[in-house]
Amino acid sequence: MSSLKPYLIRAIYDWVVDNNLTPFLLVDAECEDTVLPRQFVQNGKIVLNVRTAAVQELDLGNERINFNARFGGVSYQVEFPVSAVLAIYAKENGKGMIFDEKDADTEPTEKQETPKVTRPKPILKVVK
């Protein structure tokens, strides 16, 4: 099966834009095969404003995300794998989705059972 992550990124992006908010991507800049403006990377991560007025030729693909943008007045071609996306959210209210740093679509090494939750039986009283 294909990864669910790029579909979630596109859906949240559309929701943010449809609500006239600013979509931000938090990207792991230390992930392999990233082309990012390194001078704006902090603690191995970079936050990217991907609203339509801030980027050109935005492509939210299934494998890679790329676009052209200006950073400090200098034009950059930005490109990174979808697996490098750690979160997508709206700047104004923080609503969006955070992804695990590990790709959640990989096969689990062993099947884990869902823990059973035991709830106490309800106690009913007659009230007159």
CATH code of the domain covering residue 75:
2.30.30.220
Q: How far apart are CA 23 and CA 11, in angstroms?
A: 11
Domain count, the chain: 1
Domain hosting 52: range is 5-98
User: Would you tell me how many other CB atoms lie within 10 Å of the CB of residue 71?
Assistant: 14
Cα(26)–Cα(46) distance, rounded to whole angstroms? 6
Question: Could you tell me if residue 118 is inside a domain?
Answer: no
Residue 112 lies in a domain: no
pLDDT < 70 positions in the chain: 101-124
Q: Is residue 18 part of a domain?
A: yes
The pLDDT assigned to 118 comes to 60
Six-digit token string for 24: 């931000």
What's the pTM? 0.77
Any domain includes 121: no
